Structure 1
């Protein structure tokens, strides 16, 4: 049921952003919420409220890809949605993150009024709808087993410099997440980067693009992103979305991604009830 709900989420979202056959700027929030549900929700818990989706991991970390809330309905009162999220995460005392698009002033104000604190500088919300033409000397190998995924997870941890990230990814068994393809980039016998693609309905998403410091400035991130983008467009996606870091933004711009706006992550500490 969760997969069907997410699929309808993406189809509806893509439909309202298409006029006369032209793709208008799609938000990455619906795809992101479905991705976190897929990679974390099977081990944790997914809560569907009147206008908000919450994904809670059994691991109490404030990470927007692990314990997160997503407002998906622009009509329902924002303060009520946030109160629902606070109550849900408060059941286990877990901190969590709410993603806020820059155009939603009401949501941003409600989050701050409810005690949310900006966790991260704004992330560009980016998208593309055409295949990427780019030459690459790297070989992309899909991670299909535990050892290959463990390598992928270690590359992510090294690139993001977050201790325990590999354990967290393996603990949630993200390799088995529905509709997710994990890939490792190789330069001969050397693994140089990683990333994953998530296809839900007609919208694809790119996540966990990782280049360890020893492989920086070799075109790895661009090659991984291009390969994943073309994979999903070839599988029927109308558009592909991602949330860019400061380091990744110029790479994605060179590949042809456009920016629809900015996303801000607000952190809520462990609720105490």
Structure 2
């Protein structure tokens, strides 16, 4: 179970990190529950969300803790569950007629990947400064609305570029003629690394750029000492990650509670 445990630690830390990057934001860990009140009032992943960290805390108590936290702030939130650790929480919600709004496979890989050739005229650059980070964000501001996250919300997490780069974050951007086309970020946390914010411009899809960036992001994690690399797959990315050799170890689901439900 060491692999899933390390991967899960990276997943949890990714939420803490996104909380730290926002301004203003409040990151609170209380009674075994992580709660993030982000820089706007909309419920969602990384913005206003809660996750039980200690599975020994009863599901009802953890849920009550989150409801009280966000109710005091008069905002809704996303409750995150992991199938491997939160079966009781998911059962509690299901029995109450509450079902997830979405879910993602949680995946891991334990080996470096062979680099993929890029189409003629395209090249990659490592994200080592805020200029390259801004190029990465520019790509994802176009890519992520297709997954239901607005461009403004993407930008919210990266307005303080120095915080991001100081948080053991690296990454890669693919270009053609100086125009950023695709990207992927790597978060190193202890003995694990996670690949996040994989995105490609619609005009540059089906050219292998997402795969090339993901391969480089995975290898960056291993080069920095990670024992494994993890990610949470979107429906768009899942076939690619399976081809690369990622395997499922868990599933992440989220439930949305509006302001009227918590006030």
TM-score normalised by length of structure 1: 0.83
- Are 1:91 and 2:82 counterparts? no
Offset at 1:152? 1.7
Name the Cα RMSD after superposition.
Answer: 2.2
Partner of 1:156: 140
Distance, in Å, in 1 between the alignment partners of 2:224 and 2:133 is 22
In structure 1, the residue corresponding to 2:252 is in which secondary structure? strand
- 1:201 is aligned to 2:183: no
Q: Aligned residues, how many?
A: 250
- The residue aligned with 1:8 is none
In structure 1, what is the Cα distance between the partners aligned to 2:214 and 2:41? 30
Provide the rounded CA distance (Å) in 1 between the counterparts of 2:96 and 2:128: 43
Aligned: 1:46 with 2:27: yes
C-alpha displacement at 1:242, in angstroms? 0.6
- TM (normalized to structure 2)? 0.85
Any unmatched runs of 5+ in structure 2? none
1: distance between equivalents of 2:13 and 2:224?
18
Q: Please list the CA deviations of residues 64-120 of structure 1 after superposition, one character each: whole Å capped at 9, or x if unmatched.
A: 122222212121101101111121222222222122122432111234567855221
* Cα separation, 2, equivalents of 1:80 and 1:115: 18
Return the alpha-carbon distance in structure 1 between the equivalents of residues 81 and 183 of structure 2. 27
In structure 1, the partner of 2:254 is 265
* Alpha carbons of structure 1 residues 116 and 68: separation in structure 2 relative to 1, 3 Å: farther
Give yes or no for contact 1:156–1:165 (8 Å, CA) kept in 2.
no
State how 1:21-170 maps to structure 2 within 5 Å.
24-26=3-5, 28-42=7-21, 43=23, 44-103=25-84, 104-112=86-94, 117-120=99-102, 122-137=103-118, 138-161=122-145, 162-170=150-158
Q: Distance in 1 between matches of 2:200 and 2:162?
A: 19
Answer yes or no: is the 8 Å Cα contact 1:193–1:224 preserved in 2: yes
Structure 1 runs (4+) greater than 4 angstroms displaced: 112-117
Tell me how far 1:216 sits from its aligned partner.
0.7
Q: Give me the whole-angstrom Cα distance separating, in 2, the residues matched to 1:244 and 1:81.
A: 26
Per-residue CA deviations over 1:176-210 (Å, capped at 9, x if unaligned) read 22112243212343311112111111111111100
| Aligned equivalents of 2:262, 2:83: Cα separation in 1 | 29
- Partner Cα separation in structure 2 for residue 243 and residue 213 of structure 1: 21
> Could you tell me how far apart the structure 2 residues matched to 1:221 and 1:238 are?
23
Q: Which residue of 2 aligns with 1:9?
A: none
Question: Do structure 1's residue 242 and structure 2's residue 242 form an aligned pair?
Answer: no
Could you tell me whether the CA contact under 8 Å between 1:82 and 1:111 is conserved in 2?
no
CA distance in 2, matches of 1:114, 1:66: 25
1:228 lines up with 2:217 in the alignment:
yes
Q: Which runs of 5+ in 1 are unaligned?
A: 1-16, 19-23
Aligned residues of 2:7 and 2:228 also touching (Cα < 8 A): no
Alpha-carbon distance in 1 for matches of 2:126, 2:37: 28
**Aligned position for 1:176:** 163
Residue 7 of structure 1: aligned partner: none
